[in-house]
Chains A and B, each alone.
Chain A
């Protein structure tokens, strides 16, 4: 994830290009004009809730779905009349699709049938592929004798042995338990760096996408809502919907007071007057709720009574709820000054703080000082 890698990917040639891709299932408009360029060597994720079209898009790239209009290019070549078996892509299926009548080695060697190499050379390739995914010596096992994690590794080896230009992964980790999933995330990243193949991952798990990807396309209802790197996506979501889908974000209504040279001054009940530069403003806001300020839970902290804070702004608040998570605690706060016009209680905002040994967790009902920085706010308008 170094700047080096980022620069290199920035300059890389496009590997997958989708132009105005439309797909219908009967009357249902599954893909609504997808425009997308995935660069060579990139770890790219398609992220969205179920039914958003991400799997359809992946299957379109793989050649399992015909599109109704638009263009898909892989490595500069039109894919219109290229069937799935002739495309330079391989797929890791959600169910892994391990052939139950074949051994692990036979599964991995499945795609090598027409490879001109000798039997011994192929066996060597299979051994190497199994070693790469950490399954050295599993070749003779029957497919049904494997655990979920092992099946996934076989599916990976079976695809990667063919040295595809693109590896497509359809929710590959969703069937694994949490520990295994986190382990496989790290292994997949390492594997991708090692083989240098373009990976396209479909997932509904925002955390997974953030951890693994160079860039992420967030999809809703057959359209790409935002395409960005993980940091940009998290820090400056394009819409409230994207913000809500990726992590937690607090929203407060804001009144625009003035706008000069791209700097917008807003008045936010509870936070006061804030000046926001261009880079903190998301103008594409189809939510149509009026101007809204958003901030992430971890950008606001409770200041211990006997300390001075390091962040520029400070507000008073009352603790409404405390949710203890072990390493973290979530607090729901009512900001002072955010009460409704008729004296209704302020809508609580959620903040999160890492628990530090020796520091007490404040109780519900305590009046506290909270510190925050205007630099962590996003204005949706």
Chain B
């Protein structure tokens, strides 16, 4: 009896999840498997030869340019993540703790407004703001503060970090906001009641309890920024390529799909390992059940 009804439930469940499951298989698993396969094959001229080889991985892990670009990607992503999360926390804190409850959804709505335009357009807009004849330079020149347009504000790492931090801000604000919202406010009163100042209560109670949100925000920002391809191209002016640009060059410009695939798989592995180490270091915050 019980088994039969479970079977029925299981069938219903399978029916429900099968469309998204098939979809996920097609758009996620299949491409990844293709890339994985390519990465072990040999590049022929304008074609892929079906000969197994490790050469692509030897290239990906020994070539000095690849290593330099990979390290730069990690550094830029880490910097972007740091800046984004550090700026997102006060915003999330403000909305969660200072904004009146009935106004919170309006604030969240305002925070997501940048998403109304496409990512590409937002990146272009930053170019307009930071460019040689851009908003900042023409204003400063017009005001007579500078004689020559500033050149250090575009086509460098700073401008990439600025653009990416802006683009990913809502992704960081929302998980931190949710973690802060879950904190029972009487815990903060308990911290005060037990003799701690507001600052110490934040340090000993609020921050540890908000850590799951901070960790989520970190991952959500770090993982996509390391693979970002548009911003280094447009804002970096193509002079400071990141790993995604290198993959693009291999895949499309040089038409060396096996090397490009090996780079992509290696980048995925590195990101996965970095994330796992990060999660491991923060495991005590993730075990907390509220």
A residues lining the B interface (CB < 8 Å): 62-64, 83-86, 89-91, 93-95, 97, 99-101, 110-111, 113-114, 142, 144, 158-159, 162
Contacts and interface: CB of A to CB of B under 8 A. Distances in A.
Given A64-B189, A93-B189, A99 B195 contact: no
Contacts of B289: 100, 142, 144
Given A95-B184, A101-B288, 5 more contacts: A83-B192, A99-B191, A101-B285, A113-B204, A162-B194
Contact of B184 (A97, A111, A142): A97
B253 to A, nearest CB: 50
A94 B285 CA distance: 25
B290 interface: yes
A62, A85, A93, A158 interface centre (most CB from chain B within 10 Å)? A85
B196 to A, nearest CB: 6
Interface string B258-290: 000000000000000000000000001101111
B189 A114 contact: no
B190 interface: yes
Given A64-B189, A85-B192, A95-B186, A101 B197 contact: no
B9 to A, nearest CB: 29
B209 A100 contact: yes
Contacts of A100: 187, 209, 288-290
B197 A85 contact: yes
A293 B112 CA distance: 67
B194 A90 contact: yes
Contact of A93 (B186, B195, B196, B284): B186
A114 B193 CA distance: 14
B169 to A, nearest CB: 27
A143 to B, nearest CB: 8
Nearest to B209: A101
Contacts of B196: 85, 111, 113
B114 interface: no
Nearest to B193: A91
A158 B194 contact: yes
B208 interface: yes
Contacts of A95: 184, 186
Interface string B165-179: 000000000000000
Given A95-B184, A101-B209, A62 B290 contact: no
Given A97-B184, A100-B289, A101-B285, A114 B195 contact: yes
Contacts of B200: 113
B290 A110 contact: no
B205 interface: yes
